[in-house]
Structure 1
Amino acid sequence: MVKCPRCGYDNLPSTTYCEKCSYIIKNPPVRQKKSGWNMGTAKKVALIIGIIAIALVLFSVIYNYSRPSNEESLNVIEADSNVQQSSSRPYQLKIIYGGDWYSNSGNANYLQNNTGHGTQLIKLDCASWDTVSVFVEKSDGSSEKMTVQLLRNGEVVAENSTTNSQLTFSYSS
């Protein structure tokens, strides 16, 4: 038997409160909540950081695989009735001349050197937003007329002619 310290009543040993005056005889057992998240704060922080890291890795992988390649990003699409045509290099240089010639053309960062004879069409490595520079020189010293056309997606956007030995111009869209 357990005696109550306040009133002196004899209580059963398993009693927490006095049956006569309700005074606490011994400390009641502390019940712990049972939870699946019974872990320390450091573990919770590490788990959250891990989830964020995995999300960032997944985002970067998805972003890199969904981006167009450099060649695809230069595509220009034109609609011609029902037919769609695309071009990753929309500019071409057409040199109309009966003799030998030399050309230096393209954007300022990448100029292409070409030599040829007669009329030729040259694909330029320029994007649609580049400023295109053109320099063409006759190699045979002829006084024959030389015409140079700059085409963008097949259409003439700039043209110049001369009977002199050199022809220079630039084009910005």
Structure 2
Amino acid sequence: MVKCPRCGYENSSTAVYCDNCAYLLTDANGNRINNSKRTSSWNIGFAKKVAIILGIIAISLLLFSFIYNITQPSQQESLNIISDDGSVHKTASYPYTAVVEYDGYWGAKMGNPNYLVTEEGSGTRSYILDCASWDSIYIAAQKYDNDGGELTVKLLRNGDVVAQNTTSNGTGSVSISYN
């Protein structure tokens, strides 16, 4: 067996070139090259060097990914969940109620100005608005029957009237904007 002086691969005794790195194993006179003098620890082929470097990079990336995932908060921890047991404020989830009072037929649009709900009816009706306490509120109501009766619109917050508007005009309409 002949050891290659470049990569350290053990070749057959008849080999002229190294089977691993194609290094010439004989000198110009055809004599075997003495490889006992060369003792480098980096005597491996180029392909093996590349494979080792790629392996180190892959292990580094896996380790980084593992550490990154461990240090991130869980989905439950990353959500800013606020829970209320009712001990601080005794308010409803939707504190606003719209009340339309009219003896005839009417139509109304109400809610957050960006998301208005259309309702129609007759007589007095109450509607819980899908709005939070910090939302702007808009209510617009109109008579449909041209009656001279009084159309009243009220906005209640937690049961207390915070805005009110009335009209007696035959084709009257009334609105409330509340911030």
Question: Does the pair score TM above 0.5?
Answer: yes
1:67 aligns with 2:72: no
* Distance in 1 of aligned mates of 2:144 and 2:157: 26
Identity among equivalent pairs (%): 35
Kindly provide the amino acid, as one letter, of the partner of residue 139 in structure 1: Y
Q: 1:121, CA displacement in angstroms?
A: 0.5
Q: 1:94, CA displacement in angstroms?
A: 0.7
For structure 2, the 5+ residue unaligned runs are 1-55
- Partner of residue 133, structure 1: 138
Q: 1:55, CA displacement in angstroms?
A: 2.5
- Partner of residue 156, structure 2: 151
Once the two structures are superposed, what CA deviation does each residue of 1:14-60 show, in whole Å capped at 9, x if it has no partner?
A: xxxxxxxxxxxxxxxxxxxxxxxxxxx8757854652232231xx13
Structure 1 ranges of 4+ moved more than 6 A: none
- Partner of residue 18, structure 1: none
- Partner of residue 67, structure 2: 51
Kindly provide the amino acid, as one letter, of the partner of residue 112 in structure 1: V
**Structure in which a larger fraction of residues adopt strand:** 1
Which among 160, 170, 173 is matched to residue 177 of structure 2? 170
- Partner of residue 119, structure 1: 124
Instruction: Give the paired residue count.
Output: 121
SS at match of 1:88: coil
* Distance in 1 of aligned mates of 2:80 and 2:129: 28
Kindly provide the amino acid, as one letter, of the partner of residue 106 in structure 2: W
* Distance in 2 of aligned mates of 1:143 and 1:127: 35
